[in-house]
Amino acid sequence: MPRWNDDFDRFYQPSIPLPAKGGIRAQSRRGSFANSWWGRRWLETLESFQLHSRLARGRSYARRGQVLQLEIAEQKVTARVQGSRPEPYIVTIALKRIPLVHWHKVIRKLATRIALAARLIAGELPEEVEHYFREAGVPLFPATKDDLITACSCPDSSNPCKHIAAVYYLLAEQFDHDPFLLLNLRGIGRQQFAAMLGGAQAASDTEESAASEPAPPLTSDLDAFWRAGPLPEIHGGDIMITGQSASLARRLGSLPFWRGHADFLEALAAMSRDASERAVSLLLRL
């Protein structure tokens, strides 16, 4: 039975995809995709481009396992998607790269908040990082459809077609496990980021050292040298428990043999939060 296509105001004959063997099935079986705020933001950004009907068909493909292969390399996504024809379609997705000058601005900000940078490298994307991109004059997520450079070998003239849209949804789950994949598609890899961060941190340390007062010379009085001075006070104002617990475990995903009543990651996150709170409590008693 023909269906109405909202994108082109006409009817079209729906195609039935061939069964895919060994395809990549989305972890989400119903409801929303992605667990992290950045994975959800990726999909919310795409939905804001008014691609609802196309995305809905792609969501169905992703859950059925029609994507046979997905690879992210050289700042580009390449995928094979099984459609209604025997030969799978080839999908490529790239994002408009952020100029290096803007990356330097973001990384200089992160060099002053090294804890945020450490969380990012460890597999968690703090929401503050998105604010640093806005301050640098560039968005972390695509701002318009023109920021998405996509292609599919299928005969469908719409973009995105359902094959591209299916890969969009699987990308959201990939970003869940490693947010650095998103940064890689925006133009910078993990090693380059770490190298630039190290350079920015060294420059910041040099500036602070030059601005600080010189240390007083050591006294020649041995009694005064070995005399213990007052211990520095420990303040808890800078102690922070990160918003997302068990970030490394979240990158690996739930255990397939877990049989607990609660979700594995939620149970582990609760234990992680409890351990963090106990550690901070002990530190504040010192």
Q: What is the pLDDT of residues 249-278, one digit of tens each?
A: 555 555 555 555 666 667 666 676 666 666
User: Residue 284 is part of which domain span?
Assistant: 260-286
**Pairwise CA distance, residues 243 & 153, whole Å:** 42
49 and 131 assigned to the same domain: yes
Q: Which helix (H) or strand (E) holds 151?
A: strand 148-152
| Residue where a domain terminates, one of 192, 209, 236 | 192
Beta strand spans in 13-121 (E): 67-73, 76-81, 89-95
At 44, the pLDDT band (50, 70, 90 cuts) reads: very high
- Is 92 a domain residue? yes
Q: What percent of the chain has pLDDT over 90?
A: 42
- Is 159 a domain residue? yes
CA–CA distance from 188 to each of 104, 144, 164, 283 (Å)?
11, 20, 23, 37
Axis crossing angle, helix 190-211 with helix 100-111, rounded to the nearest 10: 60
187 and 275 assigned to the same domain: no
267 and 185 assigned to the same domain: no
156 and 271 assigned to the same domain: no
167 and 50 assigned to the same domain: yes
- Is 117 a domain residue? yes
Q: How many domains does the chain have?
A: 2
Q: Report yes or no: 123 and 245 within 8 Å, Cβ to Cβ.
A: no
- Is 100 a domain residue? yes
46 and 180 assigned to the same domain: yes
Sheet holding 67-73, edge to edge: 67-73, 76-81, 89-95, 148-152
- Is 208 a domain residue? no
DSSP state at residue 18:
P
Nearest to 198 by CA among 102, 117, 99: 117
Q: What is the per-residue pLDDT for 51?
A: 77
| Residue where a domain terminates, one of 145, 160, 192 | 192
Give the pLDDT mean for 171-191: 93
- Is 235 a domain residue? no
35 and 124 assigned to the same domain: yes
Give the range among 21-35, 93-107, 120-134, 165-179 with minimum mean pLDDT: 21-35
Q: What is the per-residue pLDDT for 224?
A: 60
- pTM here is 0.68
273 and 166 assigned to the same domain: no
- Is 3 a domain residue? no
Give the range among 94-103, 150-159, 212-221 with minimum mean pLDDT: 212-221
- Is 85 a domain residue? yes
Sign of CA dihedral 185, 188, 193, 195: positive
46 and 129 assigned to the same domain: yes
| Residue where a domain terminates, one of 176, 192, 208 | 192
At 150, the pLDDT band (50, 70, 90 cuts) reads: very high
